[in-house]
Amino acid sequence: MRHAGTAIILTAVVFAVLSFVPLQWFDVETGSADQTGVVAAESITPTPAPPPPPPPPDTRQIVEHAPLPKAVKAIYMTSCVAGTRPFRERLVKLMSETEINSVIIDIKDYSGTISFAPENEAWKEAWQEARCGALDMREFIASLHEQNIFVIGRITVFQDPLYAPKHPDQAVLRSDQVTVWKDHKGLSFVDVAAKPYWDHIIDLAIDSYNLGFDELNFDYVRYPSDGNMSDIYFPASVAGEYGMDRQANLEAFFKYLNEQLSDEKLFAEYSHQNTGRESNTPWTSADLFGMTTTNFDDLSIGQVQDRAAPYFDFIAPMVYPSHYPNNFLGLGNPNDYPYKVVNYAMQAGVDRMLSSTTPMEGFLHTPIMDTNASGTETFSGLYNKPTFTADKLRTWIQDFDYGGNYDAADVRAQIQASYDAGVNGWMIWAPSNIYTKAALELAGEEE
């Protein structure tokens, strides 16, 4: 019992001693107690995330553009003049001294050849075969931009005697369905419905914008007319979705062109700057026969103003008085009345742009139905269509002697006729590239 008592006493002593020893290893408190005795957790500051890495430097070649003028006032320059320094410098001097703020330069003309060395392999032959052009086209355009000149590139589309003979499946043929058709000038055409050619034109447009052209102007967007029309065959149209509906085939091309050229990714190989617009894509325009403003048919070439307008930034009717028939408007020789012809034609074009209805069918047109007393609906003969302002139009002005002698008063009368119709943009055509300076306002004195 003595040993048991001794053990009990030792155990008591150990517990007594331990009761006075602080047990730090059991202390898990990391905060402080408030007045209620509740322990607050210690705040932890998160480690900030590292900043994102900077974007890689943009090493693309920069293409500086000139913004679109409020009203384009342009002269036309052939590829031969663009490649002839003394001649082109005279035209640049004319621009600096007058109200001219824009220039149209041939990219592709009636020959099917082009005026600069392309990057796209498919177009290199058209440069190698060219009789004219500018080896320094990129630098020339850049120099024009330095003078705030807006540069428009003209592309002759379906008239192409270089491409057509080498692609007879896409060409306009004679009735034998083998021989490539030619017009009275000996020039051949590509069928409007030849879709592979559409992409060929898109490739040229890409190279042209990346070179520095600010706007692309599409000419000869039509079926041929000046030739033996009784000995002609259109293989791509006949086999296509719309058959020989010329209007539909042409509108399908316009629609495709618009969709493609509105895609910034096509032009992303270069850094386009100072475009003056939200998208890095070219402005576009289409040249139409002058009588498309007054006629409600397609002139047998597929062109209808109402069906072209939605797909381009600008529509440019070629309202040259010399191209109207005698007694147009009962005037006798239209060359004797340049103001009246141009004013009437452009006013008609403006009225059609503003109108919400048209008798012309179209992809974007919806038929207007009439309802009779019995509730039966019948087609009214009219369609609803998109509307546009007069700013959609630009006037082609005649400064060449064809059918008459055009002097400064005649050229200026056409410009004034355009203004009086509400159309402020114009482009002067002179195949010689010799312009009537006296018809132009001097620089700083523009209206």
Q: What is the pLDDT of residues 384-442, one digit of tens each?
A: 999 999 999 999 999 999 988 999 999 999 999 999 999 999 999 999 999 999 999 99
CA atoms in the 13 A half-sphere facing the CB of 410:
21
pLDDT at residue 6, as a whole number:
44
Q: Identify the weakest region by mean pLDDT among 335-344, 356-365, 368-377.
A: 368-377
Alpha carbon of residue 225 to chain centroid: 26
Any domain includes 290: yes
Quickly count helices (H) and strands (E) in the chain: 11, 13
Q: Which amino acid is at 232?
A: I
For the chain, how many structural domains are there in total?
Answer: 1
pLDDT at residue 56, as a whole number:
86
CA dihedral 256, 260, 261, 265 (to 10 degrees): 180
How far apart, in whole angstroms, are the C-alpha atoms of residue 227 and residue 298? 17
Any domain includes 33: no
In terms of pLDDT, which residue wins out, 233 or 48?
Answer: 233
Does residue 180 have a pLDDT over 80? yes
The string of pLDDT tens digits covering residues 202-211 is 999 999 999 9
Q: Which amino acid is at 267?
A: F
**Arithmetic mean of pLDDT, 237-260:** 98
| Sign, Cα dihedral of 53, 54, 55, 59 | negative
How far apart, in whole angstroms, are the C-alpha atoms of residue 29 and residue 336? 106
Q: Predicted confidence band at 274 (pLDDT cuts at 50, 70, 90)?
A: very high
In terms of pLDDT, which residue wins out, 419 or 40?
Answer: 419
Any domain includes 229: yes
The string of pLDDT tens digits covering residues 105-147 is 999 999 999 999 999 999 999 999 999 999 999 999 999 999 9
Which H or E element spans position 130? Answer: none
Angle subtended at Cα 258 by Cα 254 and Cα 263, rounded to the nearest 5 degrees? 155
Does residue 39 have a pLDDT over 80? no
Beta-carbon contacts of residue 76 (< 8 Å; ≥ 6 apart)? 103, 104, 154, 427, 428, 429, 430, 433
Q: Predicted confidence band at 445 (pLDDT cuts at 50, 70, 90)?
A: confident
How far apart, in whole angstroms, are the C-alpha atoms of residue 194 and residue 234? 9
Q: Is 252 helix (H, G, I), strand (E, B) or coil?
A: helix
Q: Predicted confidence band at 43 (pLDDT cuts at 50, 70, 90)?
A: low
Any domain includes 39: no
Does residue 54 have a pLDDT over 90? no
Q: Predicted confidence band at 254 (pLDDT cuts at 50, 70, 90)?
A: very high
List phi, psi (to 5°) of 168: -60, -25
Q: Model-level pTM?
A: 0.88
Q: Residue 211's CB: how many other CB atoms inside 10 A? A: 20
**The domain spanning residue 198 has which CATH number?**
3.20.20.80
Interaxial angle between packed helices 338-354 and 408-420, expressed in degrees from 0 to 180 and rounded to the nearest 10: 20
Any domain includes 349: yes
Q: Is 8 helix (H, G, I), strand (E, B) or coil?
A: helix
Does residue 271 have a pLDDT over 70? yes
Q: Predicted confidence band at 446 (pLDDT cuts at 50, 70, 90)?
A: low
Q: Residue 436's CB: how many other CB atoms inside 10 A? A: 17
Does residue 223 have a pLDDT over 80? yes
How far apart, in whole angstroms, are the C-alpha atoms of residue 393 and residue 426? 9
pLDDT at residue 12, as a whole number:
41
The string of pLDDT tens digits covering residues 3-34 is 444 444 444 443 443 444 443 433 444 444 44
How far apart, in whole angstroms, are the C-alpha atoms of residue 172 and residue 174? 7
Q: Average pLDDT, whole number, for the chain?
A: 92
Considering just the CA atoms, what is the radius of gyration of the chain in Å? 36
Alpha carbon of residue 196 to chain centroid: 20
Residue 332 tokens read as: 């006798």
Q: Predicted confidence band at 51 (pLDDT cuts at 50, 70, 90)?
A: confident
**Arithmetic mean of pLDDT, 166-190:** 98
Q: Residue 443's CB: how many other CB atoms inside 10 A? A: 13
DSSP sequence for 317-330: EE--GGGSPTTGGG
Which H or E element spans position 366? Answer: strand 366-371
Q: Which amino acid is at 260?
A: Q
Domain that holds residue 69: 62-439
Any domain includes 43: no
How far apart, in whole angstroms, are the C-alpha atoms of residue 101 and residue 125? 33
pLDDT at residue 93, as a whole number:
98
Q: Predicted confidence band at 373 (pLDDT cuts at 50, 70, 90)?
A: confident
